[in-house]
């Protein structure tokens, strides 16, 4: 896999801090962003292209000291943008190219990213994740096979389009470079990506829980420096186990109104956003696992449920928090409902009190079960957590069962976890 680091940006949003040097030379602890990127990328290939402004001697001097890596400079005589600079690579032989934005700090298992790209036979694979600032992030929408359906260019005003943000990292097949404007400025998000999607090429989103943060603003640079010493960064790589907090949805995040056919996910319980924000801040994953039998009963179409959950992720983003994954089970074994869907009239292993959703998340995200929790309001939540050997915390006012740990709401439960 060939690699190119894009290091020719102006750094306008962080100009006061970088002054007359590239933002890729900013330091996280005792190393520059560029050096930290190289430490991980050389495990894939020790020959790396670096796109820079013409005569950027500060970057050149740093890279010329790298003894274990062969650097090839691509110098821009004029500003070519985050896609236009790739034109210089048309003269080289390769199949796929890993493109890395120079203003990102990351801790990533690239082998999995590359494996996903190859398995999908993708022409372009976008590394993406939920974040706490979707309003100023480029967002994508994917189908169940993770193929990109839609692209939403930043900035966004009202009604965020979910919360699956591009992260300044992608793998592109060389054949797509023919779509670039020759020797002219081209921005990846503004023109190049929409052009690729319009042509109908296979584009996939690689959704990951791994750590990646752009340091393009003073605030995000401060956050990255703080993250570096925390569980967020240290456990960020998929090869490392990470703790998670599993949440039921109805009765935990949003109010559960009995005798209603479908629990709309937008009647939020006070304090739920603060609670999820605290989980995010402490570096735990947030995984929602919810039974949604209204689909099997024929009360709502499956697509309606999907759109509501997608909107839920966007609302979380509006409140500066995010969930890493939402799992739902549309099945229900009881028959006799008008309009019920036979294919969902079963007790599948995902339907709580079974623990299929939890097991799936544990495998996918390499979750540390011993340090993880399940927060729910029902006996089925308790049984699912017990089968999975998770610590269980009950919330809400249901009195059908007693739990050793119980709190009035999610915020109180989360405050307890992080005071232990």
| 234-276 pLDDT, tens digit each | 888 999 999 999 999 999 999 887 655 666 668 899 999 999 9
How far is residue 70's CA from residue 83's CA, in Å, rounded to a whole number?
23
The whole-number pLDDT of residue 79 equals: 86
56: pLDDT strictly greater than 90: no
Give domain 2-222's CATH superfamily.
Spore Coat Polysaccharide Biosynthesis Protein SpsA; Chain A (3.90.550.10)
Q: Which of 227, 248, 377, 409 is catalytic?
A: 248
User: 23: pLDDT confidence band, cut at 50, 70 and 90?
Assistant: confident
How far is residue 405's CA from residue 365's CA, in Å, rounded to a whole number?
26
The whole-number pLDDT of residue 12 equals: 57
Please give the average per-residue pLDDT across 389-402, as a whole number: 83
User: 130: pLDDT confidence band, cut at 50, 70 and 90?
Assistant: very high
Identify which has the larger pLDDT, 405 or 343.
Answer: 343
Angle between helices 410-417 and 272-281 (to 10 degrees): 20
How far is residue 3's CA from residue 169's CA, in Å, rounded to a whole number?
11
Identify which has the larger pLDDT, 256 or 309.
Answer: 309
Short-list 206, 41, 237, CA closest to 115: 206
User: 107: pLDDT confidence band, cut at 50, 70 and 90?
Assistant: very high
The whole-number pLDDT of residue 408 equals: 93
40: pLDDT strictly greater than 70: yes
User: 416: pLDDT confidence band, cut at 50, 70 and 90?
Assistant: very high
Please give the average per-residue pLDDT across 318-334, as a whole number: 95
Bridge partners of residue 32, in order along the sequence: 27
User: 67: pLDDT confidence band, cut at 50, 70 and 90?
Assistant: confident
92: pLDDT strictly greater than 80: yes
2: pLDDT strictly greater than 60: yes
DSSP state of 175: G
Query: Cβ atoms within 10 A of the Cβ of 361, count?
Result: 24
Q: What is the largest CA-CA distance in the chain?
A: 75
Please give the average per-residue pLDDT across 195-217, as a whole number: 95
Please give the average per-residue pLDDT across 281-294, as a whole number: 96
Average pLDDT, the chain: 91
The whole-number pLDDT of residue 182 equals: 85
Short-list 401, 169, 369, 389, CA closest to 287: 369
pTM of the shown model: 0.92
Give domain 241-417's CATH superfamily.
HAD superfamily/HAD-like (3.40.50.1000)
Q: Which of 56, 109, 227, 250 is catalytic?
A: 250
Q: Is 227 a catalytic residue?
A: no
Q: What counts of helices (H) and strands (E) characterise the chain?
A: 13, 19
159: pLDDT strictly greater than 90: no
169: pLDDT strictly greater than 70: yes
Give the CA radius of gyration of the chain: 23
| Block residue for tokens 């209204």 | 294
148: pLDDT strictly greater than 90: yes
The whole-number pLDDT of residue 344 equals: 95
User: 157: pLDDT confidence band, cut at 50, 70 and 90?
Assistant: confident
Identify which has the larger pLDDT, 376 or 135.
Answer: 376
Q: Is 56 a catalytic residue?
A: no
The whole-number pLDDT of residue 44 equals: 95
The whole-number pLDDT of residue 66 equals: 85
Short-list 392, 417, 390, 386, CA closest to 405: 392
The whole-number pLDDT of residue 15 equals: 60
What whole-number percentage of the chain has pLDDT above 90? 73
In the chain, domain spans: 2-222, 241-417
358: pLDDT strictly greater than 80: yes
| Block residue for tokens 């894009």 | 6
Please give the average per-residue pLDDT across 64-93, as a whole number: 90
The whole-number pLDDT of residue 379 equals: 93
Short-list 377, 109, 105, 375, CA closest to 244: 375
The whole-number pLDDT of residue 54 equals: 84
How far is residue 38's CA from residue 24's CA, in Å, rounded to a whole number?
11
């Amino acid at each position: 896999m060939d690699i190119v680091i894009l290091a020719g940006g102006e750094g306008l949003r962080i100009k006061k801090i970088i002054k007359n040097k590239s933002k890729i030379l900013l330091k996280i602890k005792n190393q520059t962003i560029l050096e930290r990127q190289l430490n991980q990328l050389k495990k894939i290939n020790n020959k790396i292209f670096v796109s820079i402004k013409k005569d950027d001697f500060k970057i050149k001097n740093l890279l010329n000291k790298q003894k274990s890596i062969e650097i090839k400079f691509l110098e821009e005589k004029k500003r070519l943008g985050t896609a236009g600079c790739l034109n210089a690579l048309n003269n080289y032989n390769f199949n796929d190219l890993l493109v890395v934005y120079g203003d990102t700090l990351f801790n990533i298992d690239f082998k999995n990213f590359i494996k996903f790209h190859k398995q999908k036979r993708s022409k372009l694979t976008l590394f993406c994740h939920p974040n706490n600032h979707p309003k100023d992030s480029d967002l994508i929408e994917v189908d169940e096979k993770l193929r990109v359906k839609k692209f939403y260019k930043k900035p966004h005003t009202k009604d965020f389009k979910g919360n699956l943000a591009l992260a300044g990292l992608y793998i592109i097949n060389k054949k797509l470079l023919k779509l670039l404007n020759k020797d002219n400025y081209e921005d990846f998000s503004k023109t190049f990506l929409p052009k690729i999607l319009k042509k109908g090429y296979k584009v996939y989103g690689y959704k990951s829980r791994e750590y990646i943060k752009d340091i393009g603003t003073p605030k995000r640079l401060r956050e990255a420096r703080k993250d570096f010493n925390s569980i967020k960064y240290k456990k960020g790589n998929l090869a490392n186990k990470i703790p998670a907090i599993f949440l039921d949805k109805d009765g935990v995040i949003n109010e559960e109104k009995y005798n209603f056919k479908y629990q709309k996910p937008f009647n939020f319980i006070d304090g739920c956003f603060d609670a999820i924000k605290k989980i995010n801040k402490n570096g735990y994953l947030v995984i929602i696992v919810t039974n949604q039998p209204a689909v099997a009963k024929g009360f709502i179409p499956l697509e309606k449920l999907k759109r509501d959950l997608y909107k839920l992720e966007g609302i979380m983003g509006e409140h500066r928090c995010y969930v890493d994954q939402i799992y739902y089970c549309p099945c229900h074994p009881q028959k006799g409902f008008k309009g019920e869907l036979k294919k969902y009239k079963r007790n599948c292993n995902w339907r709580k009190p079974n623990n299929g959703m939890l097991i799936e998340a544990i495998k996918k995200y390499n979750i540390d079960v011993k340090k993880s929790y399940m927060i729910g309001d029902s006996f089925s939540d308790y049984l699912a957590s017990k089968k999975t050997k998770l610590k269980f915390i009950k919330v809400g006012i249901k009195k059908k069962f007693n739990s050793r740990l119980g709190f009035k709401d999610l915020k109180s439960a989360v405050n307890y976890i992080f005071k232990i």
